[in-house]
Amino acid sequence: MKIFKFGGASVKDADGVKNVLNVLKTVGHDDVLIVISAMGKMTNALELVIKNYFEKSTEFNASLQEVKKYHNQILMDLFDDEDNDVFFAVNSHLADLEYFLRSNKSPNYSFVYDQVISYGEIISTTIVSHYFNDQGLKNNWIDVRNYIKTDNNYRDGNVDWEQTQQLISKGVKKKNLNITQGFLGSDENNFTTTLGREGSDYTAAIFAYCLGAESVTIWKDVPGVMNADPRYFENAILLNQISYREAIELAFYGASVIHPKTLQPLQRKEIPLFVKSFINPLLPGTSVSKGADLDPHTPCFIIKKNQLLLSLSSLDFSFMMEDHMSEIFALFAEYKIKVNLIQNSAISFSVCIEDKYGNFDALRNSLAKKFKISYNENVSLYTVRHFDQEASEIIEKNKKILLKQISRGTLQVVTKE
């Protein structure tokens, strides 16, 4: 079996859905499982619904209507007959969403987030599955929450591999075309969980591992894995082949093409990963597989924007020792703060962090009880793997350098632009 993953950009509108069908007709669809994300920017739209819900905003109903309107437009563009079962199916999902928002009593933001955000993937796969059937491409729609089991760490669920393996091995029909949702799972009480933002790649890897798949292909709107994001760097080039190790390094530092958790399960079973273009599906793209000789010999540029540079020192100017570090990182873990760079001296400790859950203010208040704090908001973290002098000059040109760190083969620079 082959695993294909299509992200939100590939199904952002009716033409996108039609193109996915054409990709499958071009490359083959027998014995394939497709993982599909929410359509377009629907995850962002549902996040706004959640925000308005908790803030009791007057914009709540309007934001919910936008979710309905967006999907309804795609339905109208794809299906001529409004009596098609797909209209009932999608409206049923939307009714379930509204019912949850009316009846929910939980004040837990992360719990509510996962229950609401999941409708993006549920509805997108419902539409795609019905459209394929309507066009003669028979498929089996499956609810991923019945197969991927996690703990109840909402918004960043940890997979129960043993239970997930059993469910997928027994439940997924091979030799068929299967369609399922990315990003989602469920806990022991069958409440929806999510695997972390952009987790659909990880979903594909989980199914590949449990099914012993032949390969995984991530279909993107770029030719493959580039040595830099073309939006920020001119003359970005395609990396034809890279090793699992290099791909893991790039993902860890923030390369957006591959989700960081995706590579480990594939590497364990040596399942090759391909990153290809859904615009030109016959192009070779990038292959990720075993072998150190596949590492790129060209600088690879990664940029993470909207970071925070946080510097700490003890209130009495004593050395920053191991007990200080332990306490600081315990707070990072408590507030789910991602650390992307560390630098320390005798009396100070600096980190470049990512506040994806909006907990920085609470963290700062906790740290201020024992440490002197200074910080810079909205900084950018540049990482260059396999850097050279020219690469250094490219990222430092016309920027204010707040912090610079060099390790073996890797340069990191925090800038304020």
User: Same CATH topology for 2-213 and 300-416?
Assistant: no
Quick one: pLDDT band at residue 293, thresholds 50, 70, 90? low
* C-beta of residue 291 within 8 angstroms of C-beta of residue 243: yes
CB 215 within 8 A of CB 286: no
Q: Which of the residue ranges 107-111, 189-193, 322-326, 338-342 would you say has the lowest mean pLDDT?
A: 322-326
Residue with tokens 């990720």: 288
Q: How many beta carbons lie within 10 A of that of residue 25, not counting itself? A: 12
- What pLDDT is stored for residue 235 in this prediction? 87
Sign of CA dihedral 154, 160, 166, 168: positive
Which CATH superfamily is 2-213 part of? Acetylglutamate kinase-like (3.40.1160.10)
Taking alpha carbons only, the member of 352, 356, 367, 362 closest to residue 401 is 352
Residue 132, C-beta contacts closer than 8 angstroms, at least 6 positions apart: 21, 138, 139, 177, 179
pLDDT range class, residue 347, cuts 50, 70, 90: confident
Return d(Cα 86, Cα 79) in angstroms, integer. Answer: 9
3-state DSSP percent of the chain in helix, strand and coil, to 5:
40, 25, 35
Task: Indicate whether 256 pLDDT > 80.
Answer: no
Of 199, 204, 206, whose CA–CA distance to 216 is shortest? 204
Is 186:150 a contact under the CB 8 Å cutoff?
A: yes
The H-assigned helical ranges of 56-135 are 60-78, 85-103, 109-117, 119-134
pLDDT of residue 251: 84
Q: For residues 356 and 197, is the Cβ–Cβ distance under 8 A?
A: yes
Q: Mean pLDDT, to the nearest integer, of 149-174?
A: 96
- Specify whether domain 300-416 bears CATH 3.30.2130.10: yes
- pLDDT, average across residues 123-151: 98
Domain boundaries, the chain: 2-213, 300-416
Give the relative orientation of helices 14-27 and 60-78 as an angle to the nearest 10 degrees.
50
Strands 410-416 and 2-6: unpaired
Q: In this predicted structure, what is the pLDDT of residue 254? A: 82
Query: Contact, 261 vs 199, CB < 8 A?
Result: yes
Q: Are 119 and 94 in contact (CB under 8 A)?
A: yes
Number of C-beta neighbours around residue 367 at 10 A: 19
| Residues pairing with 278 in the sheet | none
Helix (H) or strand (E) holding 236: none
Using the CB atoms, write b or e for 391-400: b if 16+ within 10 Å.
bbebbeeeee
Cα dihedral sign for 391, 395, 398, 400? Answer: negative
Amino acid at 130: H
Task: Round to whole Å and give the CA distance between 125 and 185.
Answer: 15
What's the burial of 236, exposed, middle or buried (CB within 10 Å: 0-12/13-18/19+)?
middle
| Average pLDDT for the chain | 93
Distance CA 71, CA 14 (A): 10
At residue 327, does pLDDT exceed 80? yes
Query: Identity (one letter) of the amino acid at 275?
Result: V
pLDDT at 321: 80
User: Does the pLDDT at position 325 exceed 90?
Assistant: no
CA dist list (Å): 239 to 103, 180, 273: 50, 29, 13
More confident residue, 409 or 47: 47
User: Using 50, 70 and 90 to split pLDDT, how confident is the model at 408?
Assistant: confident
Q: What does DSSP assign to residue 252? A: H
Q: What's phi and psi for 207, nearest 5 deg?
A: -65, -40
398, pLDDT greater than 90: no
If DSSP codes are grouped into helix, strand and coil, which group holds residue 180? Answer: strand
Structure tokens at 102: 């009316």
Range name among 64-68, 297-301, 317-321, 405-409 with the lowest pLDDT average: 317-321
Q: Does residue 414 contact residue 307 with C-beta atoms inside 8 Å? A: yes
In the predicted structure, residue 261 carries a pLDDT above the cut 70: yes
Six-digit token string for 1 = 């079996």
Q: What's residue 295's pLDDT?
A: 60
In the structure encoding, which two tokens stand for residue 200, read together?
A: 């659909």
Mean pLDDT of 319-348: 89
Residue in 346, 364, 332, 341 with CA at minimum distance from that of residue 414: 341
